[in-house]
Structure 1
Amino acid sequence: MAKSEKLLEAFKLFDQANAQDPNKESFEGRSYPKELLYAQRMTDILNEFEPDASEALQLTARCQHICRWEIPRESYEMNRVGYLKWRQELKKFHAEKASNILRKVGYDEDTIDRVSFLLLKKQLKKDQETQTLEDVICLVFLKFYYEPFLTKHDDDKISSILQKTWVKMSQKGHEAALALAFSERGMELVSKALSN
C-alpha cells in the first residue's frame, strides 16, 4: 500500500514519541521500547488484515497506544471501576496526543477528527473502520501477547478474556484469529472458551 509523505512523517513522529517509553520488551533477542514495538505490530497486522486501509485508519493503528506509560494503571483504583475509568481517560489522552502530532504534520481537521473518532472506538460494530481497528487490536493481542499471558493467569481468567475478545471481533477477525499459530495449551483454551 502506497504511503503519503505526510503519513510517513506522522509515523516517524509517533515512533519518536513511543521510543521514549521507559518500559522495555524483548523480541527475537532485541530490546524495544514497549509501545514502539506495539505500534509497529499494529501497522504490520493492519497491513496483513486490511491492505487497503484508509490513511486515517493507518494513522490510528500506529498511534493507538501513543505514550500510554504516561498514565499508569496504578494511578486509578485497582478494581473494575478504576480499570474502566483508566481506559476511558487513555482513549482521550491518545486522541489529544495524536491530534497535536497530526496538526504539526499538516493534516486537515477532517482527518484529525476521524483519527480521534477511531481512537475513541466510537460506533464499534456499526462503523466499519472502528470494527477493523478493534479486530487488529485483538489480533495483535492474540499473536504477540496471548501466549506470554498464559503463564501468568489461571484458565478461568484466560477463558473469560478470550470470550470478551471474541465478542468484540467481526467474522473476518474470527477467521484471521483461528489461522494464527498457537501452542497446544493456547489452542486448547481458545477452543474451550469458544465452546462455552
Structure 2
Amino acid sequence: MNEDRLDRVLVLIDEANAQDPNSEVWRGESYPKELLYGMRMTEWLDRLYPDAPDLLHIAARGQHIRRWEVPRQTYPDTREGYLQWRSYLYGFHADCVAQLMTQAGYDPIDIERIRKVLQKRGLKNDPDVQSIEDVACLVFLDYYFVAFAAIHDEEKLIGIVRKTWKKMSEHARSRALELEFPESVRALLATALEAA
C-alpha cells in the first residue's frame, strides 16, 4: 500500500511539473524545466542518501513543484525581494505537495512532516530538512552552476558559493568536492572556499 501511495504521489507531482511551459534540453532531449529538476533531485537523493525514506522522495521530487507560477519578477529586484520570493515559494511548494499527498491517501501527520521539510524549518537541526537542502545544493552545483557562473560577476558568485557551502552537511560537501568543473569555475570555487 505504501509503495502504491508513493508511486501515485510521484506521478501526480510529475504530471504537475510536466505542465511547465519552460523547457530545458538535456542530452539532446527537451524536458519541461521543473520536471527535469525533480528528476535531478531524485537522482541526487538516491546518490547521496540511498536509504532515504519515502517522505524524502516526495520532498525531493516536489521541491520546485509548479515554480513557474510564481516568477521571480513578481517580487522586487533586490536582495529583500529575492528573500520574500523564496520564503513565499517554500509555503507554495509545501501547499502544492500537501494537496497531492492528500489525493494519494497520505495521512495528516505525513503531510505535515513534508510541509516542514519543504518550508526548510529546522535546517541544521532536522536531518530530513538537512538532507533535502544537501540534495538541492548538489543539484545546483552539478547541473546549474556553470551556466549561472557565465552570467554573474565573480564577487556575486563567490558569495553564492559560500552561502551554499554553509548550508550543506559535511557529507554533502565531500560529494561536492568530487564534482567536475571547467578550469575557470574550479578556480572561482577554490577562491570561494578558501574562507568558507
Determine if the TM-score, normalized by the shorter chain, exceeds 0.5: yes
Tell me how far apart the structure 1 counterparts of residues 106 and 137 of structure 2 sit (CA, whole Å).
28
CA distance in 2, matches of 1:39, 1:193: 28
1:194 Cα deviation after fit: 0.5
Query: 1:26: Cα distance to partner?
Result: 1.1
Distance (Å, rounded) in 1 between the aligned partners of 2:72 and 2:39: 22
* Structure 2 residue 137 is matched with structure 1 residue 138: yes
Tell me how far 1:177 sits from its aligned partner. 0.3
Query: For the residues of structure 2 that align with 1:161 and 1:193, how far apart are their CA atoms?
Result: 9
Residue 114 of structure 2 corresponds to residue 109 of structure 1: no
Which structure 2 residues correspond to residues 87-166 of structure 1 after superposition, within 5 A?
A: 87-166=86-165
Provide the residue aligned with 1:34 in structure 2.
Answer: 33
The 2-side partners of 1:131 and 1:156 are apart by: 27
- Aligned-pair distance for 1:19? 0.4
3-state SS of 2:163 partner: helix
Q: Which residues of structure 1 form unaligned runs of 5+? A: none
What one-letter code is carried by the residue in structure 2 that aligns with 1:124?
Answer: L
Between the aligned partners of 2:120 and 2:70, the Cα distance in structure 1 is 19
Which ranges of structure 2 fall in alignment gaps of 5 or more residues?
none
Aligned length in residues: 194
39-48 or 75-84, larger mean C-alpha shift: 75-84
Deviation of 1:62 (Å):
0.4
Question: In terms of mean alpha carbon deviation, does 73-82 or 35-44 score higher?
Answer: 73-82
Aligned partner letter, 1:86: W
Give the SS at the match of 1:4.
Answer: helix
Letter in 1 for 2:126: D
Aligned to 1:69: 68
Counterpart AA for 2:144: Y
**Identity across the alignment (%):** 45
User: What secondary structure does 1:25 align onto?
Assistant: strand
Q: Shift in Å at residue 44 of structure 1?
A: 0.3
How many Å separate the matches in 2 of 1:9 and 1:167? Answer: 35
In the TM superposition, residue 148 of structure 1 has moved relative to its aligned partner by 1.0
Q: Distance in 2 between matches of 1:148 and 1:77?
A: 23
For the aligned residues, what is the CA RMSD? 0.9
Partners of 1:149 and 1:60 in 2: how far apart? 24
Q: By how many angstroms is 1:131 displaced? A: 0.7
The structural deviation recorded for 1:56 is: 1.0
